Amino acid sequence: MEAEGLDWLLVPLHQLVSWGAAGAMVFGGVVPYIPQYRDIRRTQNAEGFSTYVCLVLLVANILRILFWFGRHFESPLLWQSVIMIMTMLLMLKLCTEVRTANELNLKRRVFADFDPHHFWHWSSFGDYVQCVLAFTGVAGYVTYLSIDSALFVETLGFLAVLTEAMLGLPQLYRNQRLRSTEGMSIKMVLMWTSGDTFKTAYFLLNGAPLQFSVCGLLQVLVDLAILGQAYAFARHPPKPAPHTAHPASAKAL
């Protein structure tokens, strides 16, 4: 009787928690990039942010949306991809404008040149948009032709989350190569770690496809490895080489 009497409170409370978790999933992924965006606007310097982060997340989320057409998953995950794509395009626009304004005698590089040496280093934001649309068109056409193949759909979903899981690897490699985490935002890595942990728990509790949970765990491990580097290199900083310029900051977050 007491349990039934509490239903009027527990049911809406459960619904409220579910809405909160869904909202956190949709918008939580973009939160770490807000400080980075504001910092680039304030300093008019985008050297510390790798636009390859945008490339990885654009590819991963476009593939995830295509995966949804073959195997429907929770709506918050779909909307998360839409919001992340918009966020990465905004980051690309700002970084391109800042870089173009700071470079002298800039030789125009365009997507239509199809020069692999200049891939993802174009002079105009419009060229990045063309590349994203071209990739979306090709991937969408292949998905349309193969949507009835269960193997293709499952592989597409795995590629989507695996690509996103690889996001931290360039930073991990950069830190190990330089034996330093200077120029890397610890705050942002901490936000990544907490966000990836929440996201992985959400996948597990809501029965998301197995690919999501496995690659979510991989993301958390990469985040923890980066934090481990920060701790280790802070305790044992490399000795500066004489008469050698300090390497430029190239944080990937």
Note if the pTM is more than 0.85: no
What pLDDT was estimated at residue 75?
A: 84
Q: Which residues of the chain have pLDDT under 50?
A: 1, 242-253
What pLDDT was estimated at residue 253?
A: 39
What pLDDT was estimated at residue 133?
A: 97
What pLDDT was estimated at residue 100?
A: 85
What pLDDT was estimated at residue 93?
A: 95
- pLDDT, tens only, 119-155: 998 989 999 999 999 999 999 999 999 999 999 998 9
What pLDDT was estimated at residue 42?
A: 86
Tell me the angle at which helices 210-235 and 150-165 cross, rounded to the nearest 10 degrees: 20
What pLDDT was estimated at residue 243?
A: 44
- pLDDT, tens only, 202-233: 788 877 777 778 888 888 998 899 889 888 88
